[in-house]
Amino acid sequence: MAGQIIWYITNFGCATLFYLIGVYAKNLKKPMHFWSGSEIDSYLITDVKAYNRENAIMWKHFSLCFVVSGFLEIVNPNLALIVFLLSFAIGIPTLICIYLRIYNKYKR
């Protein structure tokens, strides 16, 4: 039982964190950065609002992987673990590719 509680806290904690990053990105007035410690100047992006909206959608969709994994624990714990691990192993490289597509779409 304690293991399940830790599982739910981990999954829904990750989901909440990534969803809130999406909310933050949508409400940000300057371009949302992706890489840690980096900043993007507003003059480098043609449409900051659209750029941030697409970043927000990206992060919110990523959070869904962890919601699915959390609920799968009820039905099939092994499948839940696979989804959780794939969320990082495949999800992070996918985030990078999506972000680069967004950046290239809106860069000057």
C-alpha–C-alpha distance, residues 38 and 18, integer Å: 18
Which tokens belong to 62?
């990523």
C-alpha–C-alpha distance, residues 77 and 4, integer Å: 9
Place of tokens 């673990």: 81
- In tens, the pLDDT along 36-88 reads 878 888 999 999 999 999 999 999 999 999 999 999 998 999 999 999 999 99
Model confidence at 15, in pLDDT bands (50, 70, 90)? very high
